[in-house]
Structures are given as C-alpha cells and as structure tokens.
Structure 1
Amino acid sequence: MIIFRPPKYDAIDHEKNLKESDGLKFATEIYKGQRSLSAIVEFVLSRIKNYVKKLHNFDQINKYIQGRTKTNKSKILLLTDKNKPTPLIKSIAIDYLSSFETAYITIKKNEKDEIFDFFKIDKDIAKLPQIIIIDTKDNPNEKEEIIVYDGDLNKVALSHYLSNFATPLEGPASKRMDLLNKHKNINNSQNNKKDKNKKKKNSKNTANAHDEL
C-alpha cells in the first residue's frame, strides 16, 4: 500500500499556490506496518496534513482571537485535554483552509475554570473538547464575535455548521459533495428503474409460461 501526500498549501498566499502548482508533486510513502485494520487506519490518520496551529498559553488565545491576517479569516479554536490535534479538527482545517484559521490549545485541569469563564461556558455542564468559532467581521473596526459550538462533535455536523460562515473547499458541506450526491441519487434512481423494469419483464415471462402450460 502506498500513501500519496499532497504538498504543503500556503493558507495565506493563494496566488503563490497557483504559481507553484505545476511544479509541486505528491510525496509517496510505502506502508510497511502490520496488515491489520487498526494499524492501517492509525497510519493513514497520522499522515493527514496538519494546518492546525498550537497555542501554548492564555495570552496566545487573546492574540489569536484579536489578531487579523491580511485575508481577514474567521477562526476555529479547539479546547482539548489532548496533546495533539484530533483527525477531526485536522480534516476540518483542510476543508476550510481558504476561509478559516484553525488552532488548538491543551487545557490543564487547573486552567479549565479560567478558560471556561473567558468563553462564558457553563462550568457545571462543560466538558472537553470544546469548539470555539471566532467570526471575524468584514469591517476591521467591528469587534469579532465569539461563538461556542454546541452541536455534535462529528465531521458532518460540524462542517455543516461552519458552512453558515463560509463555503468549504471539500467535505460534507462542500459544493463538490453536493454534486457527488446528486450524481449518486441519479444513479440510484436509474438503477431502481432498471430493477423495476427487470421485475416487470420477469413477471411477464412467468405469466406467458403459465399461459403456455
């Protein structure tokens, strides 16, 4: 089994990506691990490109929220007790690479209350992980809006929620996925018609056979 990994994408300079796209090549890596499902899945997940920035302390959270890039992207922040970004947040970062900055911070037990107070999360019911969306307004003078995501923590639900703020390049809420689903529905409809016609034909042949008897 061979893994193909795309080149690093510059999330800020899109024109640079277009200029260099012809010369960029996918890296290849041969899988040499165990031939078991769990080992292969773990290997594949570990090779997901990481566009999730790591924040180290509370001061960096403030800078991340208030900082403005030249593209004025909105931001996603994962609050977690894990030391590494999850495959979910890494895949979301890829899908929304052109419209969101994505970061995570590992929260220690003695930091929970301070962080939850800052984001106005109810400490009695709040658990980690938490997804925070920082909606950066188009007007630089307008204060950003901080939203605590309260939906299901899965790819489909989170992606569709984020699509309220921007259109992803890939994933469940992308235009590409809509197109694929339409083709899938058309194919399913055509297959159903073929099955019905086949059943009618078989039924007719059976009736004719009985008539001959």
Structure 2
Amino acid sequence: MIGRLSGTLAVVQPPLLLVDVQGVGYEVLAPMTTIFELPALGQPVQLHTHLAVSETAQQLYGFLRDADRTLFRILIKVSGVGPKMALAILSGLDGPALARCVAEDNVAALVKVPGVGKKTAERLIVELRDKLTPDFGDANDIPLMATAAPKVDHSGEAESALAALGYKPVEASKMVARASKGQPDADSATLIRLALKGMAPA
C-alpha cells in the first residue's frame, strides 16, 4: 500500500497530477479542494495517498490533508459510492461543508454533485451521520507543503476539469461561463473554484 508520496509536482491536469519521485512519475487523481492548494509546478509536494484496486486498474488518489483522505475512505465505503463519485463530492464540498450537509439533512446540496441522485444523497446522510462531526477536517489539519495554487490561463482547462469530475460538457461550459463573468483574467483554478462554489450550498 502506498500511503504517502513525496516528490516534485510535474504536471497538473485536473483532476490528474503527476508527481516525480526520484525519476519515477506517479499519476495521482486529486479533488479540486487539494488542487486549489498545490504548490507551483516544479516545487516539492507531499500527498497522503489511497490506492484503489479494481479488477481492471490500480489508481492512486492524493490529498494534502489526512482528514480529506480519511473522508474519501469513509465515502467509498458507502453503498453506491465509488472512488470517482467520492472525488466529485470532495471537489465540491470540503469536510466541514459535507458535515454540515449531513447534520442538516441537506439532500438538495448533495444532488448537485454529478452522479449523486436523491437516493444516494439520502444514503450518504444516513451512513455519515455518526461518522462526521460538525467540525470534521477543520483548521487543525494542516496541509502538507501547501503554497500558492498553480495558474493555468485557459477556460477550456476549467471545463475539462469539470467534465472529468462528471459534469456534462454543456453544463461545465455554462458553469465556467457564469464563473468568468466579471473575471476576464481569471486563471483556470479560480474559474473551477467559482464554478463549484456556485453549485455548493450557501
């Protein structure tokens, strides 16, 4: 089991990262909550990782915060929630926001996540109620070696990232268009953050 990676951040193509560890490149999928806090390309990075093994593939998932990895592992144990859906949930809702949704029985916020229907949202609330405290993942969990987020000046990259998280291309395009209003010089990380914020509960 690979529990942590320490290396150089070589590529960021949300949700895919490439971490160079002594000449070996590890492909890692990460939620946008992690990608927003990554160091610049070429800088050292450390990620808490989870190795998901299926009949057809082995995939690493990476998180700056151990609490986010813990939450990911809790989510994939819920019936009907696989790694892809868990990644989408954590891209739109951080630990405290998800905990609030659960505490408030906020099904409406959860069904905004691509792939999460009403039944799955209700199941998430039931199964997570005893596992998430209201302050889950709050400030004391310091991210590993986090600095400024990398900048990629292209709205198409933001749309591709949202599509990779499960949003339909037309929906992703509309989300980015709304996010870019009044933000003509916004980088892709900002556009993705604003687009997901528009889908998150108030």
TM-score (norm 2): 0.27
| Greater relative contact order, per chain length (Cα 8 Å cut-off, separation 6+) | 2
Q: Which has the larger radius of gyration?
A: 1
TM-score (norm 1): 0.26
